[in-house]
């Protein structure tokens, strides 16, 4: 049993953060809320999403897992006006999800969860640095790096107490340094890793410009990025595996 009412904005933000990595996913229906965990086909980017029952106008379930076509579900929710409520109800017999918004009823065929790629375990990493940064600064870094390269290095210089971004192209380079005064918070430690810009661009699409994003970074280690939405009742963690530094 699953029956819930939620604002289109909240549901849209939740789905979009997963949709930048995968087209289909399993949604775990739990008493405390929804969770989605997914990894892209190349095993490079992962997402862990939690949307607490508090983020919903109403939320009832006795548990279960459903498989959805994310593209389709995002399109439906995108039809709603901002602030409009979306009603969700699972039909156990037909295995269809009834979605209604302002009188319009959409019947979405679910996907067999067993046919969907297995959910990843998000490894518990001991990362040396933590940077709390505005979403707008991630956007700026990714946009600039994209002009010169397919890769981007993110790092922390503990002596200078700076977070930095490096992108090296064939002829041109991009560099950004943000000190304590430019960041929301910084727990410095030696850290530098190289990432595929394509993945970071996709993740960036789902990060609100005004979000406070907590980055955990290490030395040639994956990066974790966390941010909240829906007034703190929603939470996204992205994890991105590093590329091997070629120099």
Q: What share of the chain is helix, strand, coil (3-state, %, to 5)?
A: 20, 45, 30
**From CA 135, how far away is CA 234, in angstroms rounded?**
16
Residue (98 or 117) nearer to a copy of itself, CB: 98
**From CA 30, how far away is CA 67, in angstroms rounded?**
14
Query: Is 72 one of the binding residues for a copy of itself (CB under 8 A)?
Result: yes
Query: Is 32 one of the binding residues for a copy of itself (CB under 8 A)?
Result: no
**From CA 227, how far away is CA 118, in angstroms rounded?**
24
Query: Is 150 one of the binding residues for a copy of itself (CB under 8 A)?
Result: no
**From CA 124, how far away is CA 68, in angstroms rounded?**
27
Token pair, residue 159, equals: 């002596």
Among 182, 190, 212, 233, binds a copy of itself (CB under 8 A): 182
Query: Is 83 one of the binding residues for a copy of itself (CB under 8 A)?
Result: no
Dihedral of the CA atoms 108, 114, 119, 121 (nearest 10)? 150
Q: Helix axis angle, 135-145 relative to 197-206, nearest 10°?
A: 150
Q: How far is the CB of 232 from a copy of itself (least distance, A)?
A: 28
Among 102, 121, 150, 198, binds a copy of itself (CB under 8 A): 102
Q: How far is the CB of 172 from a copy of itself (least distance, A)?
A: 5
Among 178, 187, 189, 190, binds a copy of itself (CB under 8 A): 178
Among 18, 68, 76, 239, binds a copy of itself (CB under 8 A): 76
Chain residues in the site for a copy of itself (CB under 8 A): 72, 75-76, 79, 102-109, 140-141, 143-144, 147, 171-178, 182
């Amino acid at each position: 049993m699953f029956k819930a009412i939620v604002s289109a904005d909240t549901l849209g933000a939740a789905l979009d953060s997963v949709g930048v990595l995968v087209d289909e996913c399993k949604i775990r229906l739990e008493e405390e809320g929804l969770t989605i965990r997914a990894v892209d086909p190349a095993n490079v980017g992962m997402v862990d999403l939690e949307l607490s029952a508090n983020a919903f106008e109403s939320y009832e379930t006795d548990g279960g897992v459903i498989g959805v076509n994310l593209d389709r579900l995002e399109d439906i929710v995108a039809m709603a006006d901002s602030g409009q409520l979306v009603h969700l109800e699972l039909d156990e017999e037909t295995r269809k999800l009834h979605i209604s918004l302002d009188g319009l009823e959409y019947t979405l065929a679910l996907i067999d969860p067993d046919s969907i790629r297995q959910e990843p375990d998000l490894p518990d990493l001991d990362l040396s640095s933590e940077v709390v940064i505005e979403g707008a600064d991630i956007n700026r870094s990714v946009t600039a790096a994209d002009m010169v390269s397919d890769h981007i290095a993110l790092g922390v210089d503990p002596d200078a107490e700076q977070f930095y971004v490096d992108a090296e192209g064939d002829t041109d380079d991009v560099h950004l340094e943000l000190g304590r005064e430019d960041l929301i918070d910084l727990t410095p430690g030696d850290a530098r890793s190289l990432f595929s810009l394509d993945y970071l661009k996709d993740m960036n699409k789902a990060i609100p410009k005004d979000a406070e994003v907590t980055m955990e970074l290490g030395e040639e280690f994956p990066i974790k990025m966390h941010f909240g939405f829906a007034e703190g009742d929603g939470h996204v963690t992205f994890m991105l595996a590093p590329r091997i530094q070629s120099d």
